[in-house]
Amino acid sequence: MNLPEKLIASDTVNTTCCYCGVGCGVTAAVADNQVVAVAGDNQHPANKGRLCIKGSSLHETQSSPDRLLSPMLHGKPVDWDTALDYGAAKFRDIIEQHGPDAVAFYLSGQLLTEDYYVANKLMKGFVGTANIDTNSRLCMASAVVAHKRAFGSDAVPGCYEDLEQTDVLIMVGSNTAYAHPVVYQRIAKAKEERPDMKIVVLDPRRTATCEIADIHLPLRPGTDAYFFNGLLTYLADHNGIDQDFVDTHTNGFDDSLAAARGQVPDITAAAHLCQLERADVEKVYQLFAQNDKVVTVFSQGVNQSSSGVDKGNALINCHLASGKIGKPGATPFSITGQPNAMGGREVGGLANQLAAHMGFDKPEDIHRVEQFWQAPNMARKEGLKAVDMFRAIEEGKIKAVWIMATNPAVTMPEAGRVRKALEKCDLVMVSDCIGNTDTAKLADLVLPATTWSEKHGTVTNSERCISLQKGFLNAPGEARHDWEIICQFAQKLGYGEHFSYSHQVDIFREHAALSGLDNNHSRGFNISALEEIDKKDYENFAPLRWPVTDQSPEGTDRLFTDGRFYTPDGRARFIPIEARLPVNTPAADQVILNTGRIRDQWHTMSRTGTAAKLLGHVDEPYIDIHPEDIERFGLIEGDLAVLANQGQRYFGRVKKSADQREGEVFVPMHWNGKYAASSCADALVNAVVDPICGQPEFKHSPVRISPFKQAWNGFLVCADDITPACEYWAKITLDGGYKFRLADGECPDNWASWVKNQFPHIDDWVDVCDSGQQFFRAAGFTGGRLQVVFSAATDKTSAREMRWLEQQLGQEIDANTRFAILAGIPGGGVEDEGAMVCSCYQVGQNTIAKAIKGGCASVEALGEKLKCGTNCGSCIPELKALLR
């Protein structure tokens, strides 16, 4: 791989990417307390040198204009002592008056294991409540319980190599091309090398992942468990059972088969229930039955469901029945979302777990942890899961909550209700590196945390691989590490001696020791061989897959290779599954709202939204919708439409997409109050949860859809971040400023005063307006430099955007160019590049189209000429489309 020049020239450090659960190793070049370049770490087992566009932009997203530099109490900066004294006093009062269950922590899979460990210890052992839940509830809770039910432990059996070595890869509710891009690249390469390898995607929509699939099954939403029940029946009827494995290593097969057969007796029934072609279902069932090497990857299309646990077990049942587990290229594989969702599960950071894979259901576990922590106030029962926790806040039962490294006002279902609950909560504390997230805006106390490249500790990825996120930059302002903040808070509560760690390694050693305590193969998570790791080794921790024990000091690639599971009798458990449909069904005038990820944004955009490059691919909230539905609801492609539910609205650009099923729309989960007026998907998402694990059904909410009747539309390009006074706006970060797309149901009396009101500090304006008042354009200057361009029109086509205009921002503008700006024509005879296609090398659509006309006939030829598509490769599908 080619290293950027800066990387060759500078001091480099090895660390881990802070985004997705692939957990890529990153080599960062550092100069002047800044990351100046990054590349994939060639030695890291997860990525072997690769990075996706988010990872390769890490150095461009490290500084945010909204970085929080000091503790803030009720909007005013205070020193740390004042801040923590305030929080601790409130916590203490509330606990004294109302008991420990009146307080809560809401954490995140983006914390490091060391942060997570001390937070969990403080709440469960010292405050005395298990009201500590996390955004992993929204993400991995279904898989966690499915694993525990089947294997006796929350353990992913396989590793990434299995995804490359398999003969049949089935991806269920997983859009790896966007959500786990480096894993996707690894799979794509394996498929290129072995074209016989078969790839199947089960997803109601045809996603970018389907580009490499042999078969895409656009199943009816929520019917995955019917599909796998049908497969179990098929395996039994077509010689697909590994009877020896079933007899020797499992329990409960007969009941599970009976349940499956009772519901889905044959292929025809499966096809009917899942609304698929019978022949396609049969093909996939055959592939599963006839190949020894089968991997089933599953993600949020399975987990985020009111029957997510059962779906997980329905597919695991098929792997157990056919003995396709614990072998190279054969395993079920739950792929993890966040960089440390797995680490959070290891420390027991969920309300219904204890620590180190122990639980509240066994008194001896509670006793063991109590002894180990010397805990004075050990919690003895489960706490509230995320949705219930915010309900309890709403009802005033929980009176203080500390939210760390997550943004629930945007990402919880019924987000509007969550906001209201936080507004009236007695004490809301938020630890974040960004000061003005939608959640932080509702907080009494906001604490500045260090983040990627500043903080130091471990994370565990999807394949159980523990890696180091290295701290190598100084903390900005007064930011502190999350674990330090938690320990200082513990001290204020009077538990200082139990939280007197002088370095992260002390926490890590304690965590490792607990994992091995009385373990004897009863708990999957065991890193006891690391309990005495010295500081130097820890600071240069080389990636290792757990378990890491005296028997396996080099870590463990695959679990269950000997057919022994973590259940009391060592046998895996079949779970009889009665598949169910999603809870809410749409009325005749509604569509099903499906939500998920886009390639270049990370959740609520707090980091990725600040890089112009990452807004090049998709720059505005949108609604993917089937052509027939566009007709049915009187929508127009490219116009705005409004989704409505629970008194909330989501504005998005209509995208016609035959990849959608009829009656179903897809919207990105990312936009929020910092980036748009009203485009938060979760405001509309129903808070229906899985009864066993409490994970919300994010992928299935009935909503209404209608065209937005706009009186005018337009855009603003400006140097300053503002909140436009407009019914619809969406913000796009540019290099050196912002662009806002605007629309409103009513025209302002006067466009000139409207725009001047948005920028009271600018007084040098030029503008033009047509006589019919249907069109207006203005430009504002400070010291001769362009600060604002505003363009508005009552029809759709007149407010034409141009990259050229954006490039003039902040420049000194001569009289001719002022005229060109007002005329909306690039000055000096230059041509506009058009919409960005290759974000890495900033190559626009017009430039590519010109090269194609000029004779570039392949992706390779375009790459040769313009470099587009030659770095992360994410735009290759679009290049192909342009070539077509």
Ligand X SMILES: Nc1nc2c(c(=O)[nH]1)N[C@H]1C(S)=C(S)[C@@H](COP(=O)(O)OP(=O)(O)OC[C@H]3O[C@@H](n4cnc5c(=O)[nH]c(N)nc54)[C@H](O)[C@@H]3O)O[C@H]1N2
Residue with tokens 């139990």: 498
Pick between residue 201 and residue 355 the one whose CB is nearest to ligand X.
Answer: 201
7, 12, 14, 23: residue in contact with ligand SF4 (rule CB under 6 A): 23
- Check binding of 24 to ligand SF4 (CB under 6 A): yes
Helix/strand/coil for 622: strand
State which of residues 25, 40, 87, 173 lies at the interface with ligand X (CB under 6 A).
Answer: 173
Beta-strand pair 701-707/648-656: unpaired
Burial class (CB in 10 A: 0-12, 13-18, 19+), 167: middle
For residue 185, the minimal CB distance to ligand SF4 (Å) is 8
Alpha helices in 595-638 (DSSP H): 627-632
Binding of residue 402 to ligand X (CB under 6 A):
no
Interface pick for ligand SF4 out of 28, 29, 39, 54 (rule CB under 6 A): 54
* Strand spans (E) along 562-611: 572-573, 590-596
Residue 612 or 681 having the CB closest to ligand X: 681
**Choice between 544 and 665, CB closer to ligand SF4:** 544
Contact (Cβ atoms closer than 8 angstroms) between residue 608 and residue 614: yes
Binding mask 169-208 for ligand SF4 (x = CB under 6 A): -----------xxx--------------------------
* Shortest spacing between CB 660 and Mo ion, in angstroms: 23
Residue 107 lies near ligand X (rule: CB under 6 A): no
Q: Which stretch binds ligand X (CB under 6 A): 248-256, 299-307, 371-379, 539-547?
A: 299-307
Q: Does 469 bind ligand X (CB under 6 A)?
A: no
Among the listed residues 556, 626, 554, the one whose alpha carbon sits nearest the alpha carbon of residue 591: 626
Number of residues counted as binding ligand SF4 (CB under 6 A): 14
Q: Which tokens in the block code for residue 44?
A: 């890291």
DSSP secondary structure letters along 307-371: THHHHHHHHHHHHHHTT-SSBTTBEEEEPP-STTHHHHHHTT-STTB-STT-BTT-HHHHHHHHH
Q: Are 288 and 253 in contact (CB under 8 A)?
A: no
Picked from ligand X, ligand SF4, Mo ion, none, the partner binding residue 55 (CB below 5 to 8 A depending on kind) is: ligand SF4
Q: Is 19 in the site for ligand SF4 (CB under 6 A)?
A: yes
Kindly write out the interface string for residues 337-356 of this chain, putting x where it contacts ligand X by CB under 6 A and - elsewhere.
xx------------------
Q: Which stretch binds Mo ion (CB under 5 A): 319-327, 332-340, 585-593, 772-780?
A: 332-340
Q: Is 52 in the site for ligand SF4 (CB under 6 A)?
A: yes
User: Residues 26, 267, 387, 405: which binds ligand X (CB under 6 A)?
Assistant: 405
Q: CB within 8 A of 638, min separation 6: which ones?
A: 653, 654, 796
Q: Does 100 bind Mo ion (CB under 5 A)?
A: no
The rounded distance, in Å, linking the Cα atoms of 837 and 847 is 10
**Which is closer to Mo ion, CB of 321 or CB of 669?**
669
Site for ligand SF4 in 63-122 (CB under 6 A): none
Of the ranges 167-175, 242-250, 344-352, 494-502, which one interacts with ligand X (CB under 6 A)?
A: 167-175
Q: Where are the alpha helices (DSSP H) in 584-735?
A: 627-632
CA 79 to each of CA 70, 442, 478, 486: distance values in angstroms, whole numbers, following the listed order: 7, 20, 9, 16
Q: If contact means CB under 5 to 8 A according to the sort of partner, which of Mo ion, ligand X, ligand SF4, none does residue 182 touch?
A: ligand SF4
The verdict on 607 binding ligand SF4 (CB under 6 A) reads: no
Least distance to ligand SF4, CB of residue 24, Å: 3
Least separation in angstroms between CB 858 and ligand X: 27
Pairing relationship of beta strands 836-838 and 843-844 according to DSSP bridges: antiparallel
For residues 303 and 692, give the distance between their C-alpha atoms in angstroms, rounded to a whole number: 12
Q: How far is the CB of 217 from ligand X (least distance, A)?
A: 8
Tell me which of Mo ion, ligand SF4, ligand X, none is bound by residue 669, counting a contact when its beta carbon lies within the kind-specific cut-off of 5 to 8 angstroms: ligand X
- Binders of ligand X among residues 184 to 213 (CB under 6 A) are 202-205, 207
User: 554 exposed, middle or buried (CB, 10 Å; 0-12, 13-18, 19+)?
Assistant: exposed
Residue 472 C-beta-side C-alpha neighbours within 13 Å: 23
Q: Which two three-digit tokens encode residue 429?
A: 């504390």
Cα(683)–Cα(678) distance, rounded to whole angstroms? 9
Crossing angle for the helix pair 253-263 and 224-237, to the nearest 10 degrees: 110
Shortest distance in whole angstroms from residue 459 CB to ligand X: 11
Cβ-based neighbour number of residue 642 at 10 Å: 20
Cross-strand partners of 712: 744
Binding site for ligand X (CB under 6 A): 20, 108-110, 135, 138-139, 172-175, 178-180, 202-205, 207, 221-222, 224, 299-301, 304, 337-338, 404-408, 411, 431-434, 437, 449, 451, 455, 482, 594-597, 599, 601-604, 606, 669, 681-682, 685, 698-699
Binding site for ligand SF4 (CB under 6 A): 17, 19-20, 22-24, 47, 51-52, 54-55, 180-182
